[in-house]
Amino acid sequence: MSKMFAIVGVINYLFVVFLNAFTDLGHKIIIQNTIFKMYDGDLLIVLTTVVNALILLPFIMMFSPAGFLADRFPKNVIMKHAAAFAVFITLVITYSYYNGYFEFAFFMTFLLALQSALYGPAKYGYIKELVGVNFISVANGAVQAVTTVAILSGIIFYTVLFEGMYVNTIHTKEELLQTVAPLGWLLVIGSMIEWFLASKLPNKMVEASQAHFKFRRYVRGAYLFKNLRTIRRKKEIFAAILALGLFWSISQVVLAIFGEYAKSNLGVTNTIFIQGVMALAGIGIVVGSILAAKYSKYFINMGLVAIGALGITTLVFLIPFVHNMNIMAFMFTLFGMFAGFLMVPLNAQIQFLSPRVHLGTILAGNNFIQNILMFFFLCVTTLFAYYGINPEILFYMMALVGLYLTYMTFRRYVVATFWAVIEIFSSARHVYKYVGLENVPNDGAVLLLGNHVSWLDWIIVQLPIKRRINFMMDKEIYNWKAFHAFFKKGESIPISPKASKDAFKEAHERLMKGKIVGLFPEGEISKDGKLGKFHRGYELIETDYDGVIVPYFIEGVFGSVFSKYKPKNGKLFFKRRVITVYYGAPISKNTKADELRDVIEKLKDENEAKSK
């Protein structure tokens, strides 16, 4: 992560991201708190929903123009001009506060959101241009964390100041708005600093687009259908956009009804408590985003998505059963953490898979579909409030939507989910270090061969490699009922002494398809930690495939509870064990067993000498 922050413009960009979210949220909090103080019951939910709708509509309306701008012009230039526009908008908002123009200030929420809608695709598209694909997951984790800190800070900052200025003698919304009017200058100052920093961002556009925007085609909807076809072209991108849309829809409804639910069912009337509990989701998102970036250190870890979806679904279902604000606060924190698990890899996946020429359009389409779904769910929320239906039913409905989201993501990322769960649990006990990982080719056939010192070796070797290793494993273990489905889905190859030729034939077919096949030439777990005799079984695999052997050596796991040797003076149970894997340079696929053992022994000795 430190290498990413060394890139020129990264820190400046993160400050711009922070100020953009902080200022946008400030006005929304002032309006929402005014509504909360002046209205009750169903009307409170309706007006809160309308505020959220005003924020969503510009993202729907500006889909095509926002995408065009982000693809046509340098993204740093768009951010600079959008920030300048925000300065003008916040000045007008401040004017409306001082004059008590509540309806006008209410409408200005739409205009501020319009600025964000034009700004968004450029802001997120700039990530890939600025840091490249190698840091795309870490950068998305950082952006999500910074955005969330900005939201959290904004909620606390503006709510505390709002409550400090509020007095019980105020009876109208106009009076209340005039009382808190000085807060408008904070919005103006934030926008001015954002504009100054945005003007310093470097231009990372490789090649300028020559496309032209035709307003008549936009009005007729021609751009809309063309851009939607662009989004649907890659199923992985569309699936990620849809998953994000469902997540944001659930979140939007929960946040829209929680204020009234807490007021009516829990007897909480202080906006600091209401906003504070919801703000704790922000702390959770920061934690979740940092963890998601950590677990995506080597590649975009899509397995975290289904874990996040399941956690969110469970928490939304449990909300109506909780009547204690402390427990509710803890649940919202967990909600945020699972949200980070879901958002970071999905956003990174969209950016990674999007071609440069269509990146802005796809990111704008991401906003479009998300906001269409969110707007639909907010309309449902408004109807429920209008007819006085118990808001608890909405929580259960959102849990059902979450159940579908969980099913959809688990089905698509089932193998990745299995490995993500394994990584989360194993990293709680171990610290993994991988040396020479660049020696494992990103494509083409690879025979991965190394030492065997524990029951976890197959996990340890797989964790940093995006490509799934087709491990050859004992047939009896392969047929264990509890794990057979996972082994089969993971494309393991069962081998037994009686049918080894068939297993090696299957390994050859996998290699011919350009896959990675892994096995342990020692044939069993070492009992003394030293390299044993290497069997020649793998030599039976025909070598007419286009590929190489990559040797590796695992160090640090011998003597653990997962190895066959357990020393009496073992390490403390709660102390995390440091495990290192050394991947050697690719060697010929014709390398014999004895030669391979010498290569791995040398790899071991060289790296042990370096570590001394």
pLDDT digits (tens, 9 = 90+) for 381-424: 878 877 777 778 889 999 999 999 999 999 999 889 989 999 99
75 pLDDT band, cuts 50/70/90, is confident
Query: Measuring CA to CA, which residue among 54, 18, 32, 77 is closest to residue 378?
Result: 54
Q: What is the pLDDT of residue 103?
A: 86
Q: What is the pLDDT of residue 57?
A: 82
Per-residue pLDDT, averaged over 202-224, amounts to: 68
Q: Tell me which of 89-98, 162-171, 188-197, 405-414 is least confident.
A: 162-171
**Which helix (H) or strand (E) element contains residue 555?**
strand 547-555
CB 600 within 8 A of CB 450: yes
Mean pLDDT estimate for the chain: 85
Calpha distance 339→333 (Å, rounded): 10
pLDDT at 568 over 80: no
pLDDT at 480 over 90: no
612 pLDDT band, cuts 50/70/90, is low
Cβ neighbourhood burial of 551 (10 Å; 0-12, 13-18, 19+): buried
Calpha distance 445→284 (Å, rounded): 41
Per-residue pLDDT, averaged over 244-253, amounts to: 89
- Strands, E, within 405-546: which ranges? 430-435, 445-450, 469-474, 493-495, 516-519
pLDDT at 184 over 80: yes
Q: What is the pLDDT of residue 573?
A: 53
- What is the three-class DSSP state of 204? coil
Query: Measuring CA to CA, which residue among 71, 82, 197, 200 is closest to residue 146?
Result: 197
Q: Where are the domains of the chain?
A: 8-424, 429-611
Q: What is the pLDDT of residue 312?
A: 96
Q: What is the pLDDT of residue 448?
A: 94
Calpha distance 31→153 (Å, rounded): 17
Calpha distance 191→500 (Å, rounded): 69
More confident of the two residues 397 and 261:
397
CB 79 within 8 A of CB 119: yes
CA angle, corner 442, sides to 441 and 443, nearest 5? 90
Place of tokens 């997120």: 124
Per-residue pLDDT, averaged over 162-169, amounts to: 82
HSE at residue 383, side-chain half, CA atoms within 13 A, is: 8
CB 600 within 8 A of CB 553: yes
Name the residue type at position 381. Answer: T
Q: Tell me which of 216-225, 301-310, 323-332 is least confident.
A: 216-225
**261-293 b/e (C-beta count within 10 Å ≥ 16 → b):** bbbeebebeebbebbbbbbbbbbbbbbbbbbbb
571 pLDDT band, cuts 50/70/90, is low
pLDDT at 131 over 90: no
pLDDT at 569 over 90: no
Q: What is the pLDDT of residue 195?
A: 94
Per-residue pLDDT, averaged over 512-524, amounts to: 91
Q: What are the backbone dihedrals phi and psi of residue 347, each rounded to the nearest 5 degrees, phi first?
A: -65, -40
Q: What is the pLDDT of residue 420?
A: 92
445 pLDDT band, cuts 50/70/90, is very high
Q: What is the pLDDT of residue 567?
A: 58
Question: Rounded to whole angstroms, what are the CA distances from 14 to 115, 125, 129, 143, 477?
Answer: 19, 14, 14, 7, 49
pLDDT at 601 over 60: yes
Calpha distance 340→343 (Å, rounded): 5
Which tokens belong to 519?
């096995």
Which tokens belong to 349?
């996946």
pLDDT at 301 over 60: yes
CB 338 within 8 A of CB 247: no
- What is the three-class DSSP state of 400? helix
Q: What are the backbone dihedrals phi and psi of residue 560, each rounded to the nearest 5 degrees, phi first?
A: -80, 175
Per-residue pLDDT, averaged over 102-120, amounts to: 86
Per-residue pLDDT, averaged over 538-562, amounts to: 88
Per-residue pLDDT, averaged over 535-545, amounts to: 89
pLDDT at 347 over 70: yes
CA angle, corner 466, sides to 463 and 471, nearest 5? 65
71 pLDDT band, cuts 50/70/90, is confident
CB 246 within 8 A of CB 404: yes
Percent of the chain with pLDDT over 70: 93
CA angle, corner 101, sides to 99 and 105, nearest 5? 120
Question: Rounded to whole angstroms, what are the CA distances from 510 to 268, 546, 593?
Answer: 62, 12, 21
pLDDT at 510 over 90: yes
590 pLDDT band, cuts 50/70/90, is very high
CATH for the stretch 8-424: 1.20.1250.20
Which one-letter DSSP state was computed for residue 267?
Answer: -
Which tokens belong to 98?
């001082």
Which tokens belong to 142?
């950082």
- Strands, E, within 16-88: which ranges? none
- Residue 225: how many CB atoms within 10 A of its CB? 11
Name the residue type at position 59. Answer: F
- What is the three-class DSSP state of 611? helix
Query: Measuring CA to CA, which residue among 332, 339, 310, 336 is closest to residue 405?
Result: 310
Q: Which distant-in-sequence residues (6+ apart) come within 8 Å of 271 by Cβ? A: 33, 36, 37, 159, 162, 163
Which tokens belong to 37?
């103080």
Q: Tell me which of 258-262, 351-355, 450-454 is least confident.
A: 258-262
Which tokens belong to 283?
């702390």
Query: Measuring CA to CA, which residue among 165, 22, 180 is closest to residue 93?
Result: 180
Q: What is the pLDDT of residue 106?
A: 85
Percent of the chain with pLDDT over 90: 30
Q: Which distant-in-sequence residues (6+ apart) come within 8 Å of 256 by Cβ? A: 45, 48, 49, 52, 378, 381
Q: What is the pLDDT of residue 306?
A: 96
CB 551 within 8 A of CB 599: yes
**Which helix (H) or strand (E) element contains residue 411?**
helix 391-412
More confident of the two residues 537 and 391:
537
Q: What is the pLDDT of residue 128?
A: 84
Q: Which distant-in-sequence residues (6+ apart) come within 8 Å of 189 by Cβ? A: none
Q: What is the pLDDT of residue 552?
A: 93
Q: Provide the greatest CA pair distance for the chain.
A: 89
More confident of the two residues 39 and 533:
533
Q: What is the pLDDT of residue 496?
A: 82
pLDDT at 41 over 80: no
In angstroms and rounded to an integer, the radius of gyration of the C-alpha atoms of the chain is: 28
Which tokens belong to 151?
């939201």
316 pLDDT band, cuts 50/70/90, is very high
34 pLDDT band, cuts 50/70/90, is confident
More confident of the two residues 297 and 226:
297
pLDDT at 508 over 90: yes
Query: Measuring CA to CA, which residue among 51, 53, 60, 56 is closest to residue 27?
Result: 51
